Amino acid sequence: MSQWNQVQQLEIKFLEQVDQFYDDNFPMEIRHLLAQWIETQDWEVASNNETMATILLQNLLIQLDEQLGRVSKEKNLLLIHNLKRIRKVLQGKFHGNPMHVAVVISNCLREERRILAAANMPIQGPLEKSLQSSSVSERQRNVEHKVSAIKNSVQMTEQDTKYLEDLQDEFDYRYKTIQTMDQGDKNSILVNQEVLTLQEMLNSLDFKRKEALSKMTQIVNETDLLMNSMLLEELQDWKKRQQIACIGGPLHNGLDQLQNCFTLLAESLFQLRQQLEKLQEQSTKMTYEGDPIPAQRAHLLERATFLIYNLFKNSFVVERQPCMPTHPQRPMVLKTLIQFTVKLRLLIKLPELNYQVKVKASIDKNVSTLSNRRFVLCGTHVKAMSSEESSNGSLSVEFRHLQPKEMKCSTGSKGNEGCHMVTEELHSITFETQICLYGLTINLETSSLPVVMISNVSQLPNAWASIIWYNVSTNDSQNLVFFNNPPSVTLGQLLEVMSWQFSSYVGRGLNSEQLNMLAEKLTVQSNYNDGHLTWAKFCKEHLPGKTFTFWTWLEAILDLIKKHILPLWIDGYIMGFVSKEKERLLLKDKMPGTFLLRFSESHLGGITFTWVDQSENGEVRFHSVEPYNKGRLSALPFADILRDYKVIMAENIPENPLKYLYPDIPKDKAFGKHYSSQPCEVSRPTERGDKGYVPSVFIPISTIRSDSTEPQSPSDLLPMSPSAYAVLRENLSPTTIETAMNSPYSAE
C-alpha cells in the first residue's frame, strides 16, 4: 500500500495534522493525483543537488500536464482550473530555485511518515499527553467564544454611538429652532411643550451616553481579562508546542486560530477607539453639567490604546524557527556561511499593513549576555511583510538567504572561525519592526529560540543534542546561559523525545520494549517513567566500559538507519534495541534458524544479527556476526546480506542459517521486496563470458568452529564469485578451505 493510501486511512485527528503542512508550496491536490510518482522519486537527495532538483521539477510539471490532458477529456472544469492555477504557481515560485521544491516535498513526505508512525504507536508519553489535554482544548474554545462575544458587543456600541449621534442631531435641530423664534413666540404653550421635550431628550441623551460608556468600559475590562488570563496563555502554549515540534514531536497547529482571535480583538479595539473619538466630537458640540464623556473618555481611550500596544507586541511571532534547508530535521543548528531560512508572522491581519511593515534581522543583539564570540548576518536582512508570503493570506515574511558569519577579533585576526565551536553556546536571532497605524506608532521585537553555531557538520550531532535538551527542559525562550547549569529531565520525557527522533528522522518511533532497553543503558531502573537524567549522563559522560556517550551511540544508529536500512526499519523488521541477555531469552525456545536484528552496543553505527540452532546433542546455541557498519553496507545492501549470508561448519558445505525472522516470519516473506536483485547461480568460466570474465558478486560468509559456540568470522564480507567458490569446493576439502579462511591473512 502506498504511503498516501495509508495517510488517507488515518483517524481525523491525524488527518488534521497532515492538513497543516500542505499549502500553495505543495498543494494536496498534486500529492493526491501524483502520489505513486512522487513516492518513487528521491526528493531528499535532490534537495542538495541542483541538477537533480531541476530535472525533478521539470518532470513534475510534465506529470501535471499529463493529468491536465486526462481531466480535460473528462471535462472536469473545476479540476482543470485548479491544475492550471497550481502549475502556474509552481513554475513561477520554484523556477529559479528548484532545490526548494525538493526540500518542501521531502519535508512533507517525512512528516507523513512521522504521523503514520505516531498513529501506529500505542504509547503516548507525558509530553504528548500534556499537549493534547482536554482542558487545553476547552480553553481554546472559550477564547474563541469570548472573542466573538467582544466583537458583537463592539458592534452593539457602534449602534449606540450612531443612535447618540442621531439623537444629538435631533436635539440640536430642535434647540436651534427655538433659539431662532421671536421673543413673543417663545412664551407660547407650544414652545413650552417643546422645551419639555428637549429636557426629556437631554435626559435621554445623558442616560445613553452613560450607558454607552458603561458598555465600553465593560468591553475594555473583558478584553483585558481575556488577553491576560487566556489569550496570552494560549499563545504561550502554542510556543511550547512549537518547541516540541522542533525536536521531532507532534506538529504544532492553532496559529491560524490565534491569528483570528488577535485580529478580531485588534479590529474591535480600533473600532472602540473610533467610537470614543466620536463621543468626544459629540461632547465638543454639546456638553452640559454632569456630562460623563469628559470625565471617562480619556481614561478609556488610554486603556484601549494600551491593550492595542500589548496585543501587537505579542502578535509578532517566529512562525518557523531558523533552519538550514540541507538539514530540515535539525532546526536551530546553523553553520557559519551556510544559508538558513526563518519565517515571521504578524497575528494581526489588517489590509492596511500589507507591504508596509519592514522587518530587520540581527544576531546576538543583547551581546552582554553572551560569550566573546560575535556574529553578523550576511545576505538580505531587511524584508517587508506581505500576505503573499503565505497560502492562507497571513501577514508574513520569510528570510531565505541569511548567513551567519563570525566577526573578526579587535586585533584584526579572525576569532574562532574554522576552530572547534562550543556546541553548548547559545545565540539568538532578533527581529525588529515598526507599526504605524491610525496615528499610533508601535515598535515590535521578537526573537528565535536559541540557536547553536557550528563551523563543521561533524559538530552537528552534539549541537542537536543541545537543542533537544534545551527545548525539553525549559519554556524560557531566551535563556542563553542555560548550559551554565543545565537542569535534569525526567527519564520518561527524555525517552519520549528519543522516540520522536526516530519517528521524525527515520519514519518509525520506538515501542515500549525498545524504550526499556534504552532506559537500562541510561539507568539501572527498568521503569522508564521514573527518575531523572542529567545533561552530563546524556551527552558528556561515556557509557560504562565504552569510549563514547549515549547520545553519540544513538546518533550513529540514526545515521545508519537513514542511509542504509531505512525500508527495513520502517517495516518494523528491525528489533534494534535489545540486550544480548534479552536476545537469548527471546530466541532460546524458537525454531532453529530463527534470527533477529539488533544494533551493536559496542560498535558505533553497527547492526548485527543473531540466530539460534541446536548441536547434535540438542544443546541450544546462539551465533552473532560481527556488526556491519556503514562502510560494509555501502558495498552490499543489508537485505541482500541476509538473503545470501553463508556459514561454513567444519566438514559441512556452506549454508544460510537464517530461516525465520523473530518470532516466526519466513525470511523471504519479510525481506523479499527489499532484495536488490535475484541471487546469482553458481557458474563456471566459459568462453561466452563477457571478455572471458565470470560475473562476480559479494558473498557474506563466516566460519564456525565445531568446538565453539562463538563465531569465528575474520571477514563477514568476503568478495568471491560463485563460480570461483565452486571450483574451490571441487579441488579442496572443506577442512582446507576452513584452514585458509582462518589464516591471519584471510581478513586482509
pLDDT in tens, 660-686: 999 889 989 988 888 886 555 444 444
180 is written with which cell numbers?
431662532
Q: Is the pLDDT of residue 219 over 90?
A: yes
Q: What is the mean pLDDT of residues 603-608?
A: 92
- Run of H or E including 420: none
Mean pLDDT across the stretch 32-45? 84
> Which three three-digit cell numbers place residue 670?
519479510
- Among residues 213, 223, 218, which one has the least CA distance to residue 283? 213
- Which pLDDT band holds residue 718 (cuts at 50, 70, 90)? very low
Look up cell 429652532; give the residue. 177
CB 4 within 8 A of CB 39: yes
Question: 300-309, 366-375, 437-446, 654-663 — which is least confidently predicted?
Answer: 366-375
Q: What pLDDT does 304 receive?
A: 95
Res. 432: pLDDT tops 60: yes
Residues 316 and 358 sit within 8 Å (Cβ to Cβ): no
Do the beta carbons of residue 49 and residue 64 sit within 8 Å?
Answer: no
Q: Residue 186 — pLDDT band, cuts 50, 70, 90?
A: low
Q: Compute the distance between CA of residue 740 and CA of residue 271 in angstroms, rounded to an integer.
A: 91
Looking at residue 125, what is its pLDDT? Answer: 63
Position 600: which residue type? Answer: S
Q: Give yes or no for residue 443 having a pLDDT over 80.
A: yes
Determine the Cα angle at 245 with ends 239 and 247, to 5°.
115
Q: What is the pLDDT of residue 579?
A: 83
Q: Please compute, for residue 246, the number of CA atoms within 13 A of its CA located in the half-sphere on the CB side.
A: 30
Higher pLDDT, 502 or 724: 502
pLDDT at 249 over 90: no
Identity (one letter) of the amino acid at 216?
M
The strand pair at 660-661 and 594-599 is best described as parallel
Q: What angle do CA 463, 464, 470 make, to 5 degrees?
A: 95
Residue 435: count other Cβ atoms within 10 Å of its Cβ. 23
**Does the pLDDT of residue 539 top 60, yes or no?**
yes
Query: For the chain, which domains are there?
Result: 1-119 (1.10.532.10), 134-311 (1.20.1050.20), 323-407+419-453 (2.60.40.630), 504-672 (3.30.505.10)
Is the previous residue joined to 663 through a cis bond, with omega within 30 degrees of 0? Answer: yes
For residue 64, how far is the Cα from the chain centroid?
28
Which residues are CB-neighbours of 397 under 8 A, at least 6 positions away? 343, 344, 359, 383, 384, 385, 386, 389
Residues in Cβ contact with 514 at an 8 Å cutoff, skipping those fewer than 6 apart: 575, 576, 577, 578
pLDDT tens-place string over residues 358-403: 999 999 876 654 566 788 899 988 999 888 777 667 899 999 889 9
Cα–Cα distance measured from residue 714 to residue 735, given in angstroms and rounded to the nearest whole number: 16
Q: Please, what is the average pLDDT of the chain?
A: 81
pTM, full prediction = 0.78
CA gap 619, 611 in Å, rounded: 14
Task: Give the relative orientation of helices 550-560 and 512-522 as an angle to the nearest 10 degrees.
Answer: 150
CA–CA separation, 171 vs 11, rounded Å? 64
Q: Evaluate if residue 192 carries a pLDDT over 90.
A: no
Q: Tell me what pLDDT residue 131 has.
A: 62
Strands 333-335 and 358-363: unpaired
Number of helices followed by number of strands (H, E) in the chain: 26, 22
Tell me whether strands 333-335 and 660-661 are parallel, antiparallel or unpaired.
unpaired
Q: Which residues pair with 571 in a beta bridge?
A: none
Q: How far apart are CA 108 and CA 205, in angstroms?
A: 61
Lowest mean pLDDT among 26-30, 53-57, 528-532, 604-608: 528-532
**Radius of gyration in angstroms for the set of CA atoms belonging to the chain, rounded to a whole number:** 35
